[in-house]
Structures are given as structure tokens and as C-alpha cells.
Amino acid sequence: MSGPQQENLHPETLAIRAGRTISEYGEHSQGLFLTSSFTYESAAQAAAMFLGEIEGYTYSRFTNPTVSAFQQRLAQMECGERAIATATGMAAIQAIMMTLLQAGDHIVSSQSLFGSTINLLANQLTKFGVTTTFVDARDLQAWRAAIQPNTKLLFLETPSNPLTEVADVAAVADIAHAHDALLVVDNSFCSPALQQPLKLGADLVMHSATKFIDGHGRVMGGAVVGNDKLIEQIYLHVRTAGPSLSPFNAWTLLSGLETLHLRMEKHSANALELARWLEAQPNVERVYYPGLESHPQYELARRQQKSGGAVVSFVVKGGREAAWKVVDGVRVISRTANLGDVKSTITHPASTTHARVTPEAREKAGIVEGLLRVSVGLENVLDLQRDLALGLD
């Protein structure tokens, strides 16, 4: 079984063609290899495979043809040498940290992060002697000032969740490299269709594939992409510790990748239209969207990302009560904390995704009580406007 090598193909073509493996049956769609283990032709072949003398599939915790196809396709889409898939986005972050850090090491991270990422860095890794300093991702001086002699890794999300703060990936990569540290970028919000951090100088890109890569809210998944050397180390950790992606989920994610560019383009167009409409609503205090000219980092976002993406956040006048009224008013938009779906979703970050973060940390991250986050889907945007108007008026 072999996949054709793809060279000089455009991103949309890679999303459909790269990494595709074809078995002896010549199937046209990607085969789903739902098997935990693989058999050998002889005792000698088994022995050679276990020693790593010959390549092949042995056990799906390490390698599986469907998972390999997903890894190869995503690696090419991110312009990386290699990828390793994981069970979830959080498993990807954990695998990076467990592989590359040890007790006594230090991380500098942007402070506006996905809630579980904050928890992992601030509460879990500290148990193993790895500490984190959180900085404003937009403040390059703060990144520099936070670096210590034991800083091994810089971590950021851009645009951030839920406030869509944009970090200058190339500039932060320079800061990392000047101190022999690595830069890891969480690219879940943009996906490779809108932004390729490795091309901007990042050392590793990670994904919650649960979001836009699946794109339909079906399965959990994650991945890390980078050069061969780094990914080999992370692969050895995943192979041993076992936060591996299931073949079924890889198969689902492969079909998600095929429509990723189309979806991201439409997500962004809908989101921009909705953000402009929200800005004109009298009960809306502020709108956060990188595609808006009013976004403080509009120019940087334009340079760095192809378009603004799907996530629009806004602050309604009247705090939690007014915000909950909007959430309770919707008839079309789904009330769920998930994002990156063809279906639009709405959530109140302060009481859901960021509820387990301390109120002080929440305030520091700008998650105020009136804040709402919408992941704009692919419905007709007029229906979404009418839906939000129900609770806003």
C-alpha cells in the first residue's frame, strides 16, 4: 500500500489529495482500517518490525494506515515535515509538554487561552515542577521580560479564545529563538486554511482537530506538526503513553480536511457580516473580530491570516443578566460551548469555558460577565442576526 507523493500542489488540492493511501482493492475514498493490531507473514518479519529494522504496521496505538493518512495530509497542509495525531487537542498540548520539558523548566505563554490550556499550565504541570509565566500575547516587551534562563518553550494561541487577540507569530518566534527556546502555536482557530505558523517561524503547531478540521462537531482529535526531529520525539511519547487518535476519528477528520478551505472562507464571510451588524446594535458595547477595521490589530491580522475566521465575541450592556438573555433567546443558534461547527454556536465564557478559572484570572484575561462568544457557522447570516436580535432588543 502506498500513497502518491505530492509535490508543488496548491493547498486546496493537498487538502483533498495529500496522504491518501490506496490498498490492494483500489478504493477511491480513504479506507478505514478499524483494527487494533496487524499480522505478520512470519516470526522473522514480526521480530524485524519490533526491532524497527523494517517499517510496517504493528499496533494502532503506534501506527495505523488511516491515522497515518491524516498525519501526512495535515503535515503537508501546515508546510511541516511530519505530524503526530492525538486523541484530543488537550492531549496534543500535554504530549508536547511531557516530551519537551522536565522538572525545573519554564514556559512563557499568552494569558488569553482556551480554559483547559490555562488549567493544564497553571495547575497540572506545576505538580511536575514545570512553571509558566502568562503574558499579554500582544506585548512583545512582556514576552522578552518573562523569559528566564530555564525558559524552554513559548506557547500562544492566535487569534485567542474568546477575545480574538492577535499575536505576532514571527516576532514571538524571533524572541524564542534568541533564547534557544521553542515556539508552539495553537492553530485551532484559523486552521492551515487561513494561517500557517510554521512558515512564520513557529517550531511546532498544534490543533484541536475537534474544531474546524472536523468542522461538523462529530469527533474529538488533535495533532502536532513540525520538523522530523521534534515530531519523532513526540511520537515516541504518544506511542508509549497512549493518547493516540482512533482510526475512525482520523477517517472522519480526513473528510473534514477535504472541505476545510471552502468552509473557512464561508465561516469568515459570515462572521465578518455578523460582526459588522453587531457593531451597529445599540445594546452591544464592543465587538471583537480580527476582520473588523476597528480591531486594534487589524493590520497584523491581515498580514498573518487569510481572513478573520469564524469566532466573533461581543460584550452586551448589562452584564451577566443581559448576556444570558441573549443566550436564552436564540432559536437557531445552538447553546453549546463547542465551536468550529457548520452550525453556529453561542456560549457565555465566564460561566462555561472559563468557569473553572479563578475570577481574578478571568478578569485579567478580559472575560467579563457581559461577554458572549459566537462561532459563526454556515447558515444564512440573516437568520443568525434575527436570532441574536431576539435577546438583544
Ligand X SMILES: *Cc1c(COP(=O)(O)O)cnc(C)c1O
Candidates 9-17, 182-190, 197-205, 366-374; binding stretch for ligand X (CB under 6 A) = 182-190
- Tell me how far, at minimum, the Cβ of 87 lies from ligand X, in Å: 8
CA distance 189 to 195: 9
Nearer to ligand X, 18 or 220 (CB): 220
Taking the chain, what is the end-to-end CA distance rounded to the nearest angstrom?
60
Helix, strand, coil tally for the chain in percent (to 5): 40, 15, 40
Q: Which of 30, 132, 196, 210 touches ligand X by CB under 6 A?
A: 210
User: Which residue's C-alpha cell is 465587538?
Assistant: 287
Based on the shown chain and the rule CB under 6 A, indicate whether residue 105 belongs to the binding site for ligand X.
no
- Tell me how far, at minimum, the Cβ of 371 lies from ligand X, in Å: 16
Identify the three-state secondary structure at position 210. Answer: coil
Residue 52, sorted as left (phi over 0), alpha (psi -120 to 50) or beta, turns out to be left
Q: Within 140-179, which residues bind ligand X (CB under 6 A)? A: 157, 161
Based on the shown chain and the rule CB under 6 A, indicate whether residue 110 belongs to the binding site for ligand X.
no
| Pairing outcome for strands 371-375 and 345-347 | antiparallel
- Tell me how far, at minimum, the Cβ of 161 lies from ligand X, in Å: 5
Q: What are phi and psi of 353, to 5 degrees?
A: -60, -30
Q: Within 276-315, which residues bind ligand X (CB under 6 A)? A: none
Based on the shown chain and the rule CB under 6 A, indicate whether residue 114 belongs to the binding site for ligand X.
yes
Q: Which set of grid coordinates corresponds to residue 211?
A: 474544531
- Tell me how far, at minimum, the Cβ of 30 lies from ligand X, in Å: 21
Q: Which of 19, 31, 80, 89 touches ligand X by CB under 6 A?
A: 89
Q: Which of 64, 72, 76, 208 touches ligand X by CB under 6 A?
A: 208
Beta bridge partners of 83: 225
Strand segments (E) across 238-389: 284-288, 311-316, 334-335, 345-347, 371-375
Candidates 111-119, 259-267, 278-286, 344-352; binding stretch for ligand X (CB under 6 A) = 111-119
CA distance 54 to 267: 44
CA distance 291 to 308: 5
Candidates 104-112, 126-134, 163-171, 184-192; binding stretch for ligand X (CB under 6 A) = 184-192
Based on the shown chain and the rule CB under 6 A, indicate whether residue 111 belongs to the binding site for ligand X.
no
Candidates 126-134, 166-174, 205-213, 226-234; binding stretch for ligand X (CB under 6 A) = 205-213
Is the distance from CB of 82 to CB of 75 less than 8 angstroms?
Answer: yes
CA distance 191 to 155: 17
Q: Which of 188, 246, 249, 304 touches ligand X by CB under 6 A?
A: 188
Q: Which of 64, 88, 99, 375 touches ligand X by CB under 6 A?
A: 88
Candidates 88-96, 133-141, 172-180, 366-374; binding stretch for ligand X (CB under 6 A) = 88-96
- Tell me how far, at minimum, the Cβ of 176 lies from ligand X, in Å: 19
CA distance 248 to 273: 36
Nearer to ligand X, 132 or 391 (CB): 132
DSSP 8-67: S--HHHHHHHTT--B-TT--SSPP----SB---SSHHHHHHHHHTSS----BTTT--HHH
Please work out the total of residues on this chain that contact ligand X, with binding judged by CB under 6 A.
16
- Tell me how far, at minimum, the Cβ of 252 lies from ligand X, in Å: 13
Q: In this chain, which residue has its C-beta nearest to ligand X?
A: 89
Nearer to ligand X, 341 or 387 (CB): 341
Is the distance from CB of 357 to CB of 118 less than 8 angstroms?
Answer: yes
CA distance 208 to 214: 9
- Tell me how far, at minimum, the Cβ of 114 lies from ligand X, in Å: 4
Based on the shown chain and the rule CB under 6 A, indicate whether residue 70 belongs to the binding site for ligand X.
no
Based on the shown chain and the rule CB under 6 A, indicate whether residue 117 belongs to the binding site for ligand X.
yes
Based on the shown chain and the rule CB under 6 A, indicate whether residue 222 belongs to the binding site for ligand X.
yes
Beta bridge partners of 84: 224
Contacting positions for ligand X (CB under 6 A): 88-90, 114, 116-117, 157, 161, 186, 188-189, 208, 210-211, 220, 222
